């Protein structure tokens, strides 16, 4: 599993167990990758990494670490991420290949590296990382995934209504896809105020689509809109009229959900 956060307009990847990409942090810095090894050769960095590993890593090679620490500071001393891992069995920093390749570090270490780059960058990194963690907790509490699944299930009800009522026989396949996309955007505009294309243009650094970043309340309303639009299609209501009706329902339901959440927090 991979997440992404944006820190000072820089997209940064986070993989399982809260490992943050150091590679992404320095991507927009000239000779950025060199900074990672330069930081790693710093004696204070090595001491910090060694203490972290001794706390969290039962297989840490402490004797090898002591040798590295003693060598640190000399002009002849050099150390790469792979050398550090291979010599000490370190787990705090990892080097990944493939699609999500690069150097990753546990959040404790990543924050230390961020501080070395820029104290300001570190503060924004911590802020965005905590926001991500809070979002994850919130999604778990309100069953975000269940609601997203409900939307996907209702999608078939929606597409069946489109297929049976809006798609003429013997129409070209390319035009069929256009009809489905148009109806999907009808719901997007009614709820989010944007088409899928407009959202992507406004959020170029985000992967997926607007529904992947929707709140739980928005997903509940979206599921309801899919069912409602399916019924309106069967009633042969024009596109513009359906958009108005769906938008009114979306506003009404979101306001009701907001009032419910506000009341619940007030208790």
Q: What is the tens place of the pLDDT at every residue in 167-214?
A: 777 777 778 888 888 998 999 999 999 998 999 999 888 877 888 888
Among 115, 135, 155, the domain boundary falls at 135
Average pLDDT over the chain, rounded to an integer? 85
Question: Can you tell me the distance from the alpha carbon of 13 to that of 4, in angstroms, rounded to the nearest whole number?
Answer: 5
Among 85, 107, 135, the domain boundary falls at 135
Q: What domain range is 35 assigned to?
A: 2-135
Taking Cα atoms as reference points, which of 125, 123, 98 lies closest to residue 11?
A: 125
How many structural domains does the chain have? Answer: 2
- Which pLDDT belongs to residue 175? 83
Higher pLDDT, 29 or 207: 29
Looking at the fold, whether 222 and 179 belong to one and the same domain comes out as: yes
145 band by pLDDT with thresholds 50, 70 and 90? low
Q: Over 80: is that where the pLDDT of 137 sits?
A: no
Looking at the fold, whether 90 and 124 belong to one and the same domain comes out as: yes
Among 87, 111, 135, the domain boundary falls at 135
Higher pLDDT, 177 or 267: 177
CB 32 within 8 A of CB 231: no
Question: Can you tell me the distance from the alpha carbon of 175 to that of 59, in angstroms, rounded to the nearest whole number?
Answer: 60
Looking at the fold, whether 110 and 160 belong to one and the same domain comes out as: no
- Which pLDDT belongs to residue 64? 93
Looking at the fold, whether 106 and 16 belong to one and the same domain comes out as: yes
Distance of CA 267 to the CA centre of its chain: 32
Looking at the fold, whether 112 and 28 belong to one and the same domain comes out as: yes
- Which pLDDT belongs to residue 24? 93
Looking at the fold, whether 106 and 213 belong to one and the same domain comes out as: no
Question: Can you tell me the distance from the alpha carbon of 248 to that of 246, in angstroms, rounded to the nearest whole number?
Answer: 5
- Which pLDDT belongs to residue 59? 95
Looking at the fold, whether 165 and 122 belong to one and the same domain comes out as: no
Q: Over 70: is that where the pLDDT of 265 sits?
A: no
CB 2 within 8 A of CB 100: yes
Looking at the fold, whether 117 and 198 belong to one and the same domain comes out as: no
Looking at the fold, whether 29 and 88 belong to one and the same domain comes out as: yes
pLDDT one-digit tens code per residue, 62-94: 999 999 999 888 888 888 899 999 999 999 999
Looking at the fold, whether 122 and 150 belong to one and the same domain comes out as: no
- Which pLDDT belongs to residue 93? 95
Looking at the fold, whether 127 and 162 belong to one and the same domain comes out as: no
Of 29-43, 70-84, 163-177, 228-242, where does mean pLDDT reach its minimum? 163-177
């Amino acid at each position: 599993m991979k997440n992404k956060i944006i820190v000072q307009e820089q997209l940064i990847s986070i993989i399982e167990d809260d490992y943050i990409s150091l590679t992404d942090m320095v991507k927009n810095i000239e000779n950025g990758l060199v900074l990672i090894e330069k930081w790693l050769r710093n004696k204070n960095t090595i001491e910090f990494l060694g203490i972290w590993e001794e706390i969290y890593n039962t297989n840490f090679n402490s004797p090898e670490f002591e040798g590295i620490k003693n060598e640190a500071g000399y002009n002849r001393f050099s150390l790469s991420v792979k050398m550090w891992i291979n010599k000490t069995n370190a787990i705090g920093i990892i080097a990944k290949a493939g699609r999500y390749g690069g150097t990753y570090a546990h959040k404790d270490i990543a924050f230390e590296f961020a501080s070395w780059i820029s104290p300001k960058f570190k503060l924004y990194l911590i802020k965005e990382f905590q926001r991500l963690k809070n979002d994850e907790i919130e999604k778990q509490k309100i069953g975000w995934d269940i609601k997203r699944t409900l939307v996907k299930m209702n999608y078939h009800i929606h597409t069946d209504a489109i297929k049976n009522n809006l798609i003429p026989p013997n129409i070209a396949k390319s035009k069929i896809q256009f009809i489905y996309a148009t109806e999907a955007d009808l719901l997007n505009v009614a709820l989010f105020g944007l088409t899928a294309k407009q959202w992507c243009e406004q959020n170029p650094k985000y992967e997926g689509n607007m529904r992947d970043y929707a709140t739980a309340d928005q997903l509940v309303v979206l599921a309801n809109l899919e069912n409602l639009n399916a019924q309106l299609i069967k009633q042969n209501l024009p596109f513009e009229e359906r958009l108005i009706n769906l938008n009114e329902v979306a506003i009404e339901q979101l306001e009701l959900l907001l009032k419910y959440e506000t009341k619940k927090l007030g208790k």
